Amino acid sequence: MSDVLVIGASAAGLATAEALRRRGFGGTVRLVGAEPHPPYDRPPLSKQVLLGDWEADRTVLRPPGALADLGIETTLGRRAVSLDTARREVALDDGTSLPYGDLVLATGLTPRRIGAFAEQAGVHTVRTLEDTGRLRAELAGARRLSVIGGGVLGCEIAASARRLGLDVTVIDPAPVPMADRVGPEIGAMLAELHRDHGIVLMSGAEAEAPVVSGGRIAGVRTSKGTVEADVVVVAVGSTPATEWLEGSGLTLDDGVVCDARCRAARHVYAVGDVARWWHEEQGRYVRLENRSNATEQALAVAGNILGADRPYLPVPYFWTDQHGVRMQVLGRPAEADRIRMVERTPDPRKFVAVAEAGERPVGVVGWNSARGLRRARALLTDGSRPH
Ligand SMILES: Cc1cc2nc3c(=O)[nH]c(=O)nc-3n(C[C@H](O)[C@H](O)[C@H](O)COP(=O)(O)OP(=O)(O)OC[C@H]3O[C@@H](n4cnc5c(N)ncnc54)[C@H](O)[C@@H]3O)c2cc1C
């Protein structure tokens, strides 16, 4: 019996287990993860690891023994297959069952696939270390990469592959990259950045079917014509890893649906990319897919397990690195109707912009400007309360 059982041994699960200990929790804590690796960081997978600048080991989040030193038991390479909330038990894929006092669901996401592309040799998705290893190996012998999807991940992979010397095309139905995250104006700047670095943006195009030759991918047929490719990456978003919770009685709807305290049911919490919780100030359910949320929400969940009884009210934040530009995004700039530059420098590739809906700031974007972003953050928090 674990007093707290955490399913999912990555950023959010790890942070929850550690936060419990840091706050003095003395009960038993067990972290269970489907991957064979100790918890590792995903952001470098599409950047430093794909580029070959980092060995895979460098992504590991804690040195060996650190979790054991905190009295956190780990079970790796084991997948949870079902949950019985009445008996308070999780069944694993080896036939064993783990009883719990409180349960934390931290199972993250699974990349979305496109049916016709799914089983083709030379087609990749990127979520794990193994995915990145396979992609990197194939890029080494390739000349042309097509990336289906111009979101954050697609853009990062495109930028990394370009630096590795490939001819890269990004195929996306939207007019500019990452518009759903940063809005059309910043998206247009990003498009220019990619074009300046020699990436072909096939915007407004739908990927329709793979072109296959000799049992391998040879290109992508799109609504705007065919692109030749030796390797294809499908980066069209991900779905919350909740299949194993079907029939558990939890509400599953684009994630594990939780109340304002990230509680999905009595003694069950969700955290990180998989959690969709009621944001009390926005008056709607929110699910965030970013690294800082994994840590911040973990602190909130650990606090609530220990009786803090506080709603989770973060200011969303993510960063992305593309072609030497670090873009940092606070709030929800895509919901703005205009962008106002608040800090400009002589270097056009260094600025801070505030995204406003009417008169109200809803987001801040920093472009190679970490300090400026920190200054502008106050616009979103109105002193202490996040919008
Ligand atoms: C390539 C890449 C680059 C990224 N870059 C950035 C970035 O630059 N900036 C940023 O803010 N964010 C970035 N992110 C997003 C960030 O990494 C995620 O938000 C973060 O990893 C979420 O952590 P998590 O613990 O909620 O989920 P995950 O990291 O997905 O971990 C979930 C874990 O649960 C395990 N699991 C799933 N189902 C089960 C089961 N049934 N039983 C047991 N274990 C299970 C999975 O195997 C996985 O190990 C990136 C993500 C990727 C993939």
Instruction: Provide mean pLDDT across the span 76-91.
Output: 98
Rounded-to-integer distance, Cα 156 and Cα 14, Å: 25
Ligand 1 neighbourhood includes 149 CB (under 6 angstroms) = no
Superfamily of domain 113-236 in the CATH hierarchy: FAD/NAD(P)-binding domain (3.50.50.60)
Averaged pLDDT of the chain: 95
pLDDT at 157: 98
Q: Which two tokens stand for residue 337?
A: 């109707």
Instruction: Provide mean pLDDT across the span 36-44.
Output: 98
Please name the CATH architecture into which domain 324-381 falls: 2-Layer Sandwich (3.30)
Q: Which of 31, 23, 100, 93 is nearest to 61 (CA)?
A: 31
How many other β-carbons are positioned within 10 Å of the β-carbon of residue 382? Answer: 11
* Residue 311 half-sphere exposure toward CB, CA atoms < 13 A: 15
Residues in the chain: 387
Confidence of residue 383 (pLDDT cuts 50, 70, 90): very low
Rounded-to-integer distance, Cα 133 and Cα 100, Å: 36
Ligand 1 neighbourhood includes 278 CB (under 6 angstroms) = no
Per residue in 310-357, pLDDT (tens digit) is 999 999 999 999 999 999 999 999 999 999 998 887 777 789 999 999
Decide: helix, strand or coil at residue 182. helix
Using only C-alpha atoms, the chain has a radius of gyration, in whole angstroms, of 21
Q: Which two tokens stand for residue 128?
A: 């794990």
How far does residue 317's CA lie from ligand 1's centre (Å)? Answer: 16
319 Cβ contact partners less than 8 Å away, ≥ 6 residues apart:
326, 327, 328, 329
Atom of ligand 1 nearest to the CA of 318: 11
Ligand 1 neighbourhood includes 327 CB (under 6 angstroms) = no
Q: Which two tokens stand for residue 341?
A: 């530059």
- Of 57-66, 211-220, 269-278, 366-375, the one with minimum mean pLDDT is 366-375
How far does residue 263's CA lie from ligand 1's centre (Å)? Answer: 20
Indicate the top mutation candidate among 93, 97, 107 to test ligand 1's pocket, ranked by most ligand atoms within 8 A of CB.
107
Find the helix or strand (DSSP H, E) in which 195 lies. Answer: helix 179-196
H helix runs in 306-387, sequence order: 370-376, 378-381
Per residue in 141-176, pLDDT (tens digit) is 999 999 999 999 999 999 999 999 999 999 999 999
Rounded-to-integer distance, Cα 294 and Cα 309, Å: 19
* Phi-psi group of 209: left, alpha or beta (phi > 0 → left; psi -120 to 50 → alpha; rest → beta): beta
Ligand 1 neighbourhood includes 326 CB (under 6 angstroms) = no
pLDDT of residue 385 exceeding 70, the answer is no
Residue 77 carries which DSSP code? S
Ligand 1 neighbourhood includes 107 CB (under 6 angstroms) = yes
Q: Which of 161, 152, 187 is nearest to 318 (CA)?
A: 152
pLDDT of residue 53 exceeding 50, the answer is yes
Residue 125 carries which DSSP code? -
pLDDT at 382: 62
Atom of ligand 1 nearest to the CA of 288: 19
pLDDT of residue 63 exceeding 60, the answer is yes
Q: Which two tokens stand for residue 305?
A: 């397990």
CB 362 within 8 A of CB 348: no
Q: What is the DSSP string of 20-61?
A: HHHTT--S-EEEEESSSSPPB-SGGGGTHHHHTSS-GGGGBS
Superfamily of domain 2-110+239-305 in the CATH hierarchy: FAD/NAD(P)-binding domain (3.50.50.60)
The neighbouring-strand residues paired with 75 are 32
CB 207 within 8 A of CB 220: yes
Decide: helix, strand or coil at residue 375. helix
pLDDT at 387: 42
pLDDT at 17: 98
Atom of ligand 1 nearest to the CA of 109: 30
* Residue 381 half-sphere exposure toward CB, CA atoms < 13 A: 14
Locate the domains of the chain by residue range: 2-110+239-305, 113-236, 324-381
The neighbouring-strand residues paired with 89 are 84, 99
Identical topology for domains 113-236 and 324-381:
no
Ligand 1 neighbourhood includes 291 CB (under 6 angstroms) = yes
Cα dihedral 332/336/340/342 (nearest 10): -20
H helix runs in 213-359, sequence order: 291-305
